[in-house]
Structure 1
Amino acid sequence: MFTLSTTARKSLAIASIAALSVSAVACNRGESSDGADGGSVTLALSTQTNPFFVELRDGAQAKADELGIDLDIQDASDDAATQADQLRNAETSGADVVIVNPTDSDAVGSAVQSLNNADIPVIAVDRSSNSGEVASFVASDNVAGGKQAADALAKAIGEEGEILVLQG
């Protein structure tokens, strides 16, 4: 079985999002995908207190800078109402593409539908929307990640011992 390290998975996710964004901007604006004509992408994150989303933000910004794309980064601070307002602002400000990491898959639905009605492609990251249409969904396989973590733990303790599982 082929497995990727956490860093490799994060890098792949960032590269995928950047590539999807550039393609979506190009398709939406009818321009080349080399980024030369710029474009505007809104990256709406649920939070920037999680190291994964900080890395996602930084990687997306670096790629946007490289490609000449205007990246508008929004932080909802885990508040669904704030995120809905941010997505409405992305729509009215003329974003070519919206990348969203929903704070709540149900709550983001009406904003995604509104973006769909405005012909603005939506790319979901880590969580999707339960309504509306997303052009693409980029997420890790948490079940496979859990299995990898369990395998590493088993190896680290010589495959015997007691384990406490915490949920929450």
Structure 2
Amino acid sequence: MAFDFSSTARTTVARRLPVGVLALCLAATTACTQTKSGGGDDAGSSGPVKIGLVTKTDTNPYFVKLRESAKAAAGANGATLIAVAGKFDGDNEGQVSAIENLVQQGVKGILITPSNSTGILGALKQAKDKGILVIALDTETDPKDAVDATYATNNEQAGVLEGKYIKATLGATPPKLILMDGSPGGTVDEQRHRGFLQGMGLKDGDPAILGAAPTNGDQNKAQAAMENLLQRDASVNAVYTLNEPAARGAVAALTAKGLAGKVAVGSIDGGCQGVADVKAGKYLVTVMQFPKKMAEQGVNAVVTFTKDGTKPSGFQDTGAQLITDKPLPGLDSKDTTWGAENCWG
């Protein structure tokens, strides 16, 4: 999963937006990005299959990879991908407007990474009522059957893996934990937080938790949050981070405080920069996700549905893998060499 932050160079394919699309984007204050692959007349019903993709942002390398993979899969199937993104993580209004716009454009399927698991339900129902296949990528909806199927990381399990690793690293040392959370109310944010505490054998409110702060998955916000928390209590020995940008921010604050290398820091994402960070010893472990797999499977499902009406269903787990150069007994992990070969971004 992923969140909005300053990232490495990304690949975008710009196209002129139709006037109606541009007006809708501006009205919704959404940073709409439209990416197409395939050919033919998009307006004609006899043209290539049109597939909509709605991501949380268009700048996070995770969503850039997801979009590029969806575009490639659509092109390989002779389909057209129309990709739209919110301006920031949590831009629920922008996602609703994007769904409505894609319905008007006549897409056969919509792939979406929901910013809010409940805030888009009405728009998704309208799409489904028009016979459009709706698939969630990366993030589940609530209820889960608000979409036809979900292709995603089991984010709670990813949190469990991070928590188990940090707990094993501490051994018999009692944890003094700081939590670098995501966005309040975010589905993935809550799942990872809950899973991490489960992996640590803790519950919210436990005295072992020195503090927690929302970071929105942003490096700068995470650094500021960690600096504030360290001013209150610098006895921390373990840090949970929602994603790798938050981990980089937390590590920057720890380094400035002279705590680098003295605190067990874990994360989730599996981006190439994150794998490099683990290799460099900036944090101990990350849990890799596989956005390419999510995108390809989602696109293929829409193409199959268009051909013969077959609908996917349920939750399709696209996997999660611990990446570390410090393996621990009882925990399945891959080293950063493997991570570099399989990372994204």
TM-score, structure 2 normalization: 0.35
In 2, the alpha carbon distance for the partners of 1:154 and 1:51 equals: 29
Correspondence for 2:63 among 44, 53, 78 = 53
Cross-structure match for 2:49: 39
Q: CA deviation at 1:136?
A: 0.6
Looking at structure 1, the residues matched to 127 and 80 of structure 2 have their Cα atoms a distance apart, in angstroms, of: 18
For residues 170 and 75 of structure 2, the distance between their equivalents in structure 1, rounded to whole angstroms, comes to: 47
Taking the aligned partners of 1:138 and 1:75, their CA distance within structure 2 comes to 18
CA 118–131 in structure 1, closer or farther in 2 if over 3 Å, else same: farther
How many angstroms does 1:58 deviate by? 1.7
Q: Does 1:70 align with 2:102?
A: no
Q: 1:50 to 1:139 in 2, by over 3 A?
A: same
In the alignment, which residue of structure 1 is the partner of 2:92? 80
Cα contact 1:110–1:132 (8 A) shared by 2 = no
1:122 is matched with which residue: 121, 124, 134?
134
Q: For residue 144 of structure 1, what is the aligned residue in structure 2?
A: 157
Residue 111 of structure 1: CA displacement? 0.7
Extract unaligned runs of 5+ from structure 2: 1-46, 182-213, 215-345
User: Aligned pair 1:97/2:109, yes or no?
Assistant: yes
SS at match of 1:123: strand
| Deviation per residue, 1:37-59 (Å, 9 max, x gap) | 84110001122343322221121
Q: Residue 135 in 1 paired to residue 135 in 2?
A: no
Tell me the C-alpha RMSD between the 2 structures: 2.4
Could you tell me whether the CA contact under 8 Å between 1:101 and 1:128 is conserved in 2?
no
- Rate the CA distance shift 1:158–1:84 in 2: closer, same or farther, 3 A: closer
- Write out per-residue CA displacement over residues 11-39 of structure 1, whole angstroms, 9 at most, x where no aligned residue: xxxxxxxxxxxxxxxxxxxxxxxxxx841
CA displacement at 1:106 relative to structure 2: 2.2
Distance 1:132 1:164, change over 3 A: closer
SS at match of 2:178: coil
The range that moved more, 121-130 or 39-48, is: 121-130
- The amino acid that maps onto 1:79 is D
Unaligned residue ranges in structure 1 (runs of 5+):
1-36
State yes or no: 1:111 paired with 2:123: yes
2:121 maps to amino acid: G
Do residues 165 (structure 1) and 178 (structure 2) align? yes
CA distance in 1, matches of 2:58, 2:176: 31
- Partner SS for 2:66: helix
Which one has a bigger Cα radius of gyration? 2
| Partners of 1:99 and 1:122 within 8 A in 2 | yes
Structure 1 residue 133: Cα displacement: 3.6
Cα distance in 2, alignment partners of residues 117 and 54 from structure 1: 29
Residues 110 and 133 of structure 2 are in contact (CA less than 8 Å); yes or no, is this contact kept in structure 1? yes
> Normalising by structure 1, what TM-score?
0.67
Write the letter of the residue equivalent to 2:178. V
Calculate percent identity across the aligned residue pairs.
24
Question: 1:152 is matched by which residue type in structure 2?
Answer: Y
